[in-house]
C-alpha cells in the first residue's frame, strides 16, 4: 500500500496546498543536494523526541554553514499535521541552503528553504533480509557521515543493489571494511548478553533512537560482516521503530524476536509517558 501524498505542506513561512507549492529552480537543495532533513514521528498531535531532532538539525546546519530560519519549527510541525487531518504520522522536515548562483561556492548570504510534509505511518513491515553492499562504501572520514545530508546517492545505489538481489535493505561498510549502518537504520547485534552497535567513528549516523539505547546501556563496538553472522541476533532501529533481521547475504541469523518486541513496547510506553526512565523492576530492557 502506497502512503497518501500530503494535501498541504509547510513551505518557508506558511501552509500551502501541496499541488501549488513551488521551489525556486535555482535552489541548491534541488540542484546539488545541499541541505539537511529530519524524519520525525508524531503521536497525539505532537512530534516525538523533537528536542533531539532539532539539536541534530542545528548541528548539521552549523557544519554546512546554513543559517536556521527564524521559525517556530514545533508550531509549524504541529500545524502541518493538523492541516493534513493527522494526529499521528511521519513528519519530514527538509532544510536547504536556498537559491544560489551557478557553481559550488554557496552565496555569501543564503536564504534557506524549509519544507515540512506530513504523511500517515507506513504499514508494518516484516523481518528484514539484508545484504552487504558491494557497489559503494560509507566514507567515515567525511563530516557528512555525521549529519542527515540530503545527497543520499550511496544509499540509493546500495538499496538498488539490495532490491536486485532480493533483499530488503543493504549494510554499508566503511572504507576500512567495518560495518557502518544500513541505508536507513542503525544496526544492532546481540552478542554474549550485550547489545552492540557500530561507533560514529566507523561511519554510523548519530541516530535519535540509537542515542537513547546507548543511554540505556547499549555499547559502541566496531563490527565486521563476520561478527553479524556469528551474533545471537541482529535488528535495526531508526526514529520510526525497530525491525528484526532474519538473514544477511542469504545466511540465516538467530531470531531475537522477544527482545525486539520488548524494546518496541518499552519505547512506546516512554512515548506515551507511561514508563519511568528505567523499567519498573529497576533493570534494563536489554538482555543480561
pLDDT confidence of residue 124: 84
Q: What percentage of the chain's residues is helix, strand, coil (to nearest 5)?
A: 30, 30, 45
pLDDT confidence of residue 240: 92
Name the DSSP class of 150: S
- Main-chain dihedrals φ then ψ at residue 62, nearest 5 degrees: -65, -40
Grid coordinates of 21? 507549492
In whole angstroms, what is the distance from residue 71 CA to residue 78 CA? 13
Give me the half-sphere count of Cα atoms (radius 13 Å) on the Cβ side of residue 121. Answer: 14
In whole angstroms, what is the distance from residue 96 CA to residue 112 CA? 6
pLDDT confidence of residue 287: 53
Divide the 288 residues of the chain into consecutive groups of 10 and give the mean pLDDT of each group: 74 95 95 97 93 96 95 95 94 97 94 96 92 97 95 96 98 98 97 94 96 93 96 95 96 94 87 57 49
pLDDT confidence of residue 282: 42
pLDDT confidence of residue 288: 45
Are residues 121 and 61 in contact, defined by beta-carbon separation less than 8 angstroms?
no
Name the DSSP class of 240: T
Q: Which residues, 6+ apart, have CB-to-CB distance to 161 below 8 Å?
A: 131, 133, 134, 135, 170
pLDDT confidence of residue 269: 84
In whole angstroms, what is the distance from residue 253 CA to residue 131 CA? 12
pLDDT confidence of residue 4: 64
pLDDT in tens, 6-43: 799 999 999 999 999 999 999 999 999 999 999 999 99
pLDDT in tens, 228-266: 999 999 999 999 999 999 999 999 999 999 999 999 888
Grid coordinates of 227? 561478527
pLDDT confidence of residue 285: 55
Which domains occur in the chain, in start order? 8-119 (3.30.470.10), 128-272 (3.20.10.10)
pLDDT confidence of residue 275: 56
pLDDT confidence of residue 61: 97
Strand, coil or helix: 82: helix
Between the alpha carbon of residue 205 and those of residues 45, 141, 260, 269, the distances in Å are 27, 12, 21, 25
Amino acid at each position: 500500500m502506497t502512503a497518501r501524498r500530503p494535501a498541504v505542506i509547510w513551505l518557508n513561512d506558511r501552509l500551502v496546498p501541496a499541488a501549488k507549492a513551488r521551489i525556486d529552480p535555482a535552489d541548491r537543495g534541488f540542484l546539488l543536494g545541499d541541505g539537511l532533513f529530519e524524519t520525525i514521528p508524531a503521536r497525539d498531535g505532537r512530534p516525538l523526541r523533537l528536542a533531539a531532532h532539532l539539536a541534530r538539525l542545528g548541528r548539521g546546519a552549523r557544519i554546512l554553514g546554513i543559517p536556521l530560519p527564524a521559525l517556530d519549527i514545533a508550531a509549524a510541525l504541529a500545524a502541518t499535521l493538523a492541516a493534513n487531518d493527522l494526529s499521528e504520522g511521519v513528519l519530514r522536515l527538509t532544510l536547504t541552503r536556498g537559491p544560489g548562483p551557478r557553481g559550488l561556492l554557496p552565496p555569501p548570504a543564503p536564504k534557506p528553504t524549509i519544507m515540512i510534509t506530513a504523511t500517515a505511518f507506513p504499514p508494518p513491515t516484516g523481518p528484514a533480509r539484508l545484504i552487504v553492499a558491494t557497489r559503494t562504501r560509507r566514507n567515515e572520514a567525511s563530516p557528512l557521515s555525521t549529519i542527515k545530508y540530503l545527497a543520499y546517492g550511496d544509499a540509493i545505489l546500495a538499496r538498488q543493489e539490495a532490491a536486485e538481489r532480493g533483499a530488503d535493505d543493504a549494510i554499508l561498510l566503511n572504507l576500512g571494511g567495518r560495518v557502518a549502518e544500513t541505508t536507513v537504520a542503525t544496526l544492532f547485534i546481540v552478542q554474549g548478553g550485550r547489545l552492540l552497535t557500530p561507533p560514529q567513528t566507523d561511519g554510523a549516523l548519530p541516530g535519535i533512537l540509537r542515542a537513547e539505547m546507548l543511554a540505556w546501556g547499549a555499547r559502541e563496538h566496531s563490527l565486521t560482516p563476520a561478527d553479524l553472522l556469528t551474533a545471537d541476533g541482529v535488528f535495526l532501529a531508526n526514529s520510526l521503530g525497530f525491525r528484526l533481521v532474519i538473514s544477511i547475504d542469504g545466511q540465516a541469523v538467530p531470531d531475537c524476536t522477544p527482545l525486539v518486541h520488548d524494546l518496541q513496547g518499552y519505547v512506546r510506553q516512554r512515548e506515551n509517558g507511561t514508563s519511568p526512565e528505567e523499567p519498573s523492576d529497576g533493570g534494563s530492557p536489554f538482555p543480561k
